[in-house]
Structure 1
Amino acid sequence: MTGEVGHVIGERYRLVDQIGQGGMGRVWRAMDGQLGREVAVKEIALPPGLSPEERERYVTRMEKEARSAARLGHPNVITVHDVVHEDDVPWIVMELVVGESLDSLLNRAGRLPWEQAARIGTQIASALAHAHERQIVHRDLKPDNVLLAGTRVVLTDFGIARVMDEAVRQTSVGAVIGTPHYMSPEQVQSLDIGPASDLWSLGVLLYAAVEGGLPFTSPPVYPLFTAILNQPTPLPRQAGPLTGLINQLLSKDPAQRPPAAQVADYLSTLGRGAAEPTPQPQPGPIPQQSYPQQGQRQRGKRQQGQPQATA
């Protein structure tokens, strides 16, 4: 990677300091010399071993994905301002969101009350619904890609994992881009990925938020993947009225997961009810699944049926 403090990208964006790093690149705070505003710039780290032709192809595709993300006009999706190609590296220029990540909050708090998880989940699901309507799948939904700016929740990194996954597979047999604990069964099996895969990841995220831990935790990657594919999902104990929703989102069968728009509506209703001083009617179930309240959890037969790089 070529970034360093003071370096100017695209004859416009001066790197001020590094504010994040992971397997897919580094994030910089930068100053837009034309508009005089601070922005965030993501420096993408393509894997080594690509031929010049392959590298150029993946850079072009990364720019295409970033421009697709730039068309997502939604308050819960980070705004992409520009894409710059410099020194054979793609740089994605975004709004600078001042706040902490959900991952940081969970590391600090341990777990969240279900009411707070529902309010955060409402905005994530709303962002996913907006993207899915436009045929864009995130592929790497995880707490580190969720930013919290006051009451606003912002989802980042749309589409990047898709190109990085193909580039890594080009050079490393069996390698997978993404965060293993949040991968859906179909992603683990390298099947076609659709919107339902993002809904599985949202289910894992909600589970982690309310439980303070992950549903599948085997440290080695491949035993973890076996668990995701074959083991029943542990029943969440702290989820309250989110219990049934989390169970359905974590169905091994993607067809059984509700679409993002329905999830957003359901969570929004729960959030409004939790904010009221008097009891409110519970929202109706999403089709094909009843959402039991805490103390009424169902333990019936569950449906049966994927190496970490983040950022």
Structure 2
Amino acid sequence: MATDPGLGASVATTLLALQNQKTLVRPSWRHWMTGVLAVMGLFYLLWIQPLFRNSMAMMMGAVIIITLSVIQVAWQLSYQQILPLPLVMVWFTATSAMMLLWKQRRRQWTQLQWENHNISYQLGQQWYQQGRLDEALAALRPCNSTEAVLTLLYDIGVQQERKRQYQEAARTYQLLVDRKPKFKDARKRADALQQLSEPVQVTTDFSATHSLVMPSQELNKPILGRYEIERELGRGAMGVVYLGLDPKISRRVAIKTLSYREFDTAQLNVIKERFFREAEAAGRLNHPNIVTVYDVGEETDLAFIAMDYVEGKSLDRCVSESTLLPIAEVYEVVAEVAEALAYAHQQNIVHRDIKPGNIMYDQNSGQVKVADFGIARIVDDSKTKTGDMLGSPVYMSPEQLKGSKVTGASDVYSLGVTLYQLLTGALPFSGDSIANLAYQILNKKYISVRELRPELSAGVVRVVNKALQKEPSKRYESAAEMASALRGLMTREFGRSDSRKAS
């Protein structure tokens, strides 16, 4: 086949010119063309190529290079001009390859980050469900700020707040605010906790002089175990009593606390062992005149007992001359307490701290409940040995003051002191010091109730005298016998065994 010698020479000249990057004519607009192509290439590499998968991006790059090559050769053949496309193609190829490599590495890194995120989030969830809030918080720190992570951080803050870890909760809320400033009410809670920085340290002390109830209404109600604390009910020698709510069954309970701060480190293990053992024993008591114990638990700084919340108030309010109950009503109340004690003694449980403050009475319904079974012994055994007597020494039996073995007869004596006070508004013994008081109880004779209140019968004088005998063997043989004696008085003096029906 014949060929045109001129065409062959032209192609040869063009290829040589391409090789040497020389041409007879250089377009005057070649710099503008290079700039335009560079801008278009950057636009493609930065915004279009990332949309493709690597294989598709490589194919598109190859098409662009081939297209530019064809344009270069065709322009050279047609116009005897060489365009600045070879440099553009080299730059495009190198930059495209680097972008593809960077995209691949970035995808791998992102995948690893999300895998780490998922693992950390699942670990944080597990720690949170187990109540290990510090570990859960540490696990969530490297996680991305997804809605699930932010929600879990918020829940951790709420639990720290309820567990009285207020400074930790403030830091958790602040971490949440740093990640997402308007997430729920995290900022408001963080600010409220920070304002309580100094008082918070006080409220976390569960001694008898400090309360768990927080002054700020912005905060969640504290919890002990599963119980939400609503308000303070009262204070005792060993801690504070709170009104709580069991959210699982919407039941109100009274929660009595035992502060570990009240005891030396060496005593603490013995204290805790006795507390839980006797609380368990008290929980087995089932009597209409005994406060029911539902649950017992422990926090880092205290132990607590959740028990039946009784409407009404303690008999403390009925021991002054101006607030004394009617005589018949006193008989009935003390008889019911004696029956409750008799039941407890049959279960081998001695109260050890019978006094008006531990007897709850609702005058409207007539309900009588004895509280705090088994708790007083813990206080007595641990504290009296070091000379710091807690409990109520004015109600203690002589053998209890001497440190002798305490039996049900001791409860009978304490109930006799309570009966004396409810009838007269006075105590049988008093002293300006514990030593003086103990001497009076062990050695002296009290004033007869009839001298303080002449309208009292000789029968009740005999009941009080028998209950307050200094020798346990001379008292009533059982609390049931004392209850029977009081009901006998009600029958003789008021014509009924239940005097409240007569009033």
> Shorter-chain TM-score: what band?
0.7 to 0.9
Instruction: Provide the rounded CA distance (Å) in 2 between the counterparts of 1:212 and 1:50.
Output: 37
Please tell me the residue identity of whatever aligns with 1:251. Q
CA displacement, residues 254-301 of structure 1 (integer Å, 9 cap, x when unaligned): 100101011111212322444438xxxxxxxxxxxxxxxxxxxxxxxx
Please tell me the residue identity of whatever aligns with 2:394. H
1:71 to 284, 301, 305: 284
Instruction: Provide the rounded CA distance (Å) in 1 between the counterparts of 2:260 and 2:384.
Output: 12
Instruction: Provide the rounded CA distance (Å) in 1 between the counterparts of 2:351 and 2:382.
Output: 17
TM-score (norm 2): 0.52
Please tell me the residue identity of whatever aligns with 1:266. A
CA displacement, residues 112-153 of structure 1 (integer Å, 9 cap, x when unaligned): 333221111110100110011111111111000000022111
Deviation for aligned residue 1:74: 0.5
Deviation for aligned residue 1:108: 7.6
2:488 to 269, 286, 296: 269
CA displacement, residues 3-24 of structure 1 (integer Å, 9 cap, x when unaligned): 33411111x1000000100211
1:84-233 mapped onto 2 (5 Å cutoff): 84-107=297-320, 109-149=322-362, 150-169=365-384, 173-233=386-446
User: Residue 56 of structure 1 contacts residue 88 of structure 1 at CA under 8 Å; is this kept in 2?
Assistant: no
1:251 to 442, 445, 469: 469
Instruction: Provide the rounded CA distance (Å) in 2 between the counterparts of 1:4 and 1:38.
Output: 16
Instruction: Provide the rounded CA distance (Å) in 2 between the counterparts of 1:124 and 1:109.
Output: 23
Deviation for aligned residue 1:169: 4.0
3-state SS in 2 of match to 1:162: helix
Q: Which residue of 1 aligns with 2:113?
A: none
User: Residue 139 of structure 1 contacts residue 178 of structure 1 at CA under 8 Å; is this kept in 2?
Assistant: no
Indicate the structure whose relative CO is greater, using CA pairs within 8 Å and at least 6 residues apart: 1
3-state SS in 1 of match to 2:372: coil
Could you tell me which runs of 5 or more consecutive residues in structure 1 were left unpaired when the two chains were aligned: 278-311
Could you tell me which runs of 5 or more consecutive residues in structure 2 were left unpaired when the two chains were aligned: 1-204, 207-211, 215-220, 497-503
TM-score (norm 1): 0.83
1:4 aligns with 2:213: yes
User: Residue 38 of structure 1 contacts residue 96 of structure 1 at CA under 8 Å; is this kept in 2?
Assistant: yes
Instruction: Provide the rounded CA distance (Å) in 2 between the counterparts of 1:204 and 1:137.
Output: 17
1:30 aligns with 2:249: no
3-state SS in 2 of match to 1:93: strand
Deviation for aligned residue 1:49: 5.0
Instruction: Provide the rounded CA distance (Å) in 1 between the counterparts of 2:361 and 2:429.
Output: 25
User: Residue 24 of structure 1 contacts residue 46 of structure 1 at CA under 8 Å; is this kept in 2?
Assistant: no
Deviation for aligned residue 1:180: 1.5
1:242 to 448, 453, 460: 460
User: Residue 199 of structure 1 contacts residue 257 of structure 1 at CA under 8 Å; is this kept in 2?
Assistant: yes
Structure 1 residues 97 and 14, CA gap change in structure 2 (3 angstroms): same
User: Residue 199 of structure 1 contacts residue 249 of structure 1 at CA under 8 Å; is this kept in 2?
Assistant: yes
Please tell me the residue identity of whatever aligns with 1:27. V
1:7-22 mapped onto 2 (5 Å cutoff): 7-10=222-225, 12-22=226-236
Please tell me the residue identity of whatever aligns with 1:120. V
Instruction: Provide the rounded CA distance (Å) in 2 between the counterparts of 1:108 and 1:101.
Output: 16
Instruction: Provide the rounded CA distance (Å) in 2 between the counterparts of 1:32 and 1:275.
Output: 43
3-state SS in 2 of match to 1:41: strand
Instruction: Provide the rounded CA distance (Å) in 1 between the counterparts of 2:327 and 2:223.
Output: 44
Question: How large is the RMSD of aligned CA atoms in angstroms?
Answer: 1.8
Number of aligned residue pairs: 273
Instruction: Provide the rounded CA distance (Å) in 1 between the counterparts of 2:260 and 2:414.
Output: 24
Instruction: Provide the rounded CA distance (Å) in 2 between the counterparts of 1:118 and 1:80.
Output: 26
3-state SS in 1 of match to 2:380: helix
Deviation for aligned residue 1:47: 4.9
Runs of 4+ in 1 over 6 A off after TM superposition: none
Greater CA drift, 174-183 or 119-128: 174-183
Please tell me the residue identity of whatever aligns with 1:45. S
Percentage of matched positions with identical amino acids: 35
Instruction: Provide the rounded CA distance (Å) in 2 between the counterparts of 1:94 and 1:221.
Output: 32
Instruction: Provide the rounded CA distance (Å) in 1 between the counterparts of 2:224 and 2:321.
Output: 34
Instruction: Provide the rounded CA distance (Å) in 2 between the counterparts of 1:57 and 1:190.
Output: 18
